[in-house]
Amino acid sequence: MLQIYNTLNRSKQIFTPLIPGQVKMYVCGMTVYDFCHIGHARVMIVFDMVARWLRASGYAVVYVRNITDIDDKIIQRAIENGEPIATLTQRFIDAMHVDSDALGLMRPDQEPRATAYIEQMQGMIGRLMEREIAYQAEDGDVNYAVRLFPGYGRLSGKSLDDLHAGERVAVGSGKRDPLDFVLWKSAKEDEPSDTRWNSPWGEGRPGWHIECSAMSCELLGQHFDIHGGGADLQFPHHENEIAQTEGALYGQERSDSDAPWVNYWMHNGHIRVNQEKMSKSLGNFFLIRDVLKLYDPEVIRFFMLRAHYRSPINYSDAQLDESRSGLVRLYTALAQANAITAPANQSPVLTEPWAERFNAAMDDDFNTPEAIAVLFDLATELNRKHAAGEQGSVNAHADLMRRLAGVLGFLGRDPSAFLQGGNPDELGASAIEECIVARAQAKQSKAFAKADQIRADLLKQGVVLEDKPGGITEWRRA
């Protein structure tokens, strides 16, 4: 029985979908003014994993991940580049898809763009105005009156008094309270024409928070199952989403007996670099496309999922190298089996003890580290069966390994394709094959010292040779 850690209640809860057999999930996506970095990769990989497991568990999943294609950073970048907003955002949307496809991610069922839902955003703002929980300020902006919404701070655990004491947001010329946030930004005279829309409150554009509320309600309904995103979005973005959406539904009279907008809130942990949160402001971020030049996409996915999704993880070459070594161990075990063609994403066989352990781990708040531990135990058992000459058992264990790992997006390739894959700066396959031929000739000429030296030189360059019966030599990356 699946349990999910619900950030709203700070505890694991048995997952009960609103509609039996169906799951509606919304995840906050990217703001497309630059290439995606490795922090974006974690969000994409984590919720790709969640969607895969839900589907493998028999649920019909509707997975929505939005695209923010209008905001201050986008406008600034477009002005700097001297190009239209739509041209800028489309270029980086295309780049995002290239990166996500390279990582082997399934596309969300829907990827709504904010600019296509302006009417729905205005409709929600209008309802908030009618319920007198929003107001238009003297500067033309429409703001949300935070103190008028009962229960603000439930998701983040922050009280209004604590927030007010910190006064994280300066009071603008029109805000009644420093905690109030903008729903509709009044257009400025020097802003391009493609950054503004007509509205009942004058020309302008939506605030960031209202985008996700309007798009999720339009595509998934006024109540849905799971809302996800990075831990950094918990406050203020997700807190404000709850306030404005439930404010539109219930107004200032919202009570604990009212149905929540979202039943389960999920947040993945930060990625850290040298124990600091990765961010563009600190200049310690790494683009997905740059990391892919150095590491196999499956290694990146493995690196992300070998830690629990709620835990922060530290990014380093050493961590990625360790992840590659883990995958090498699994693929090396698989290489001992005859050709297996297990269907990707097929549900594990529940009667198998290994699968039962794997399923129990995944049902425990998507515990991928424990699920991956099952794969390593299976690999150990497979190696033992191979040493005992039990090829039938070897094939059966390899088949199960592929089925289980396929749910996580691993081990779907021919083992040799992974084991012989390398980085651009490593010794190429043709050069390795030439060394193998030279070694075979040296052995034939009884120049065994030369043959041993070739083997040792290759090992220094990260290439392991394995001599097989019949005079065949196979190789893999260390």
Q: What is the CATH number of the domain that holds 181?
A: 3.40.50.620
Please say which residue of 419, 437, 452 terminates a domain: 419
Task: Looking at the structure, tell me whether residues 92 and 207 fall in a common domain.
Answer: yes
Residue 450 reports pLDDT greater than 50: yes
Name residue 303's amino acid: F
Task: Looking at the structure, tell me whether residues 211 and 333 fall in a common domain.
Answer: no
- Distance, in Å, from the CA atom of 354 to the CA atom of 392, rounded to the nearest integer, reads 17
Single pTM value for the model: 0.87
Task: Looking at the structure, tell me whether residues 217 and 91 fall in a common domain.
Answer: yes
Q: Is residue 304 part of a domain?
A: no
| Confidence (pLDDT) at 349 | 46
* Averaged confidence pLDDT in the chain: 89
Longest dimension (CA), the chain: 92
The owner of tokens 């619900």 is 6
Task: Looking at the structure, tell me whether residues 17 and 63 fall in a common domain.
Answer: yes
**DSSP letter string over 1-48?**
--EEEETTTTEEEE---SSTTEEEEEE---B-SS--BHHHHHHHHHHH
Q: How many domains does the chain have?
A: 3
- Confidence band (pLDDT; 50, 70, 90) for 306? very high
Residue 286 reports pLDDT greater than 80: yes
Q: Is residue 285 part of a domain?
A: no
Phi, psi for 108 (deg, rounded to 5): -55, 155
Question: Where residue 398 sits, what CATH number does that domain have?
Answer: 1.20.120.640
**Which tokens in the block code for residue 340?**
């297996």
| Confidence (pLDDT) at 201 | 97
Residue 408 reports pLDDT greater than 50: yes
Q: Which residues are CB-neighbours of 59 under 8 A, at least 6 positions away?
A: 17, 21, 22, 23
Task: Looking at the structure, tell me whether residues 194 and 158 fall in a common domain.
Answer: yes
- Domain of residue 465: give its range: 429-477
Through-space distance between the first and last CA atoms of the chain, rounded to whole angstroms: 39
- Confidence band (pLDDT; 50, 70, 90) for 445? confident
For residue 61, the SS3 value is strand
Q: Is residue 119 part of a domain?
A: yes
**Which tokens in the block code for residue 145?**
């009156």
Q: Which residues are CB-neighbours of 462 under 8 A, at least 6 positions away?
A: 422, 426, 427, 477, 478
- Confidence band (pLDDT; 50, 70, 90) for 350? very low
What does the pLDDT look like over 173-219, one tens digit per residue? Answer: 678 999 999 999 999 888 899 999 999 999 999 999 999 999 999 99
Task: Looking at the structure, tell me whether residues 362 and 248 fall in a common domain.
Answer: no
For residue 470, the SS3 value is coil
- Torsion region of 283: left, alpha or beta (phi above 0 gives left; psi -120 to 50 gives alpha): left
Q: Is 38 within 8 Å of 45 (Cβ atoms)? A: no
Sheet of strand 224-230, all strands in order from the earlier edge strand to the far edge:
60-65, 22-27, 224-230, 262-268
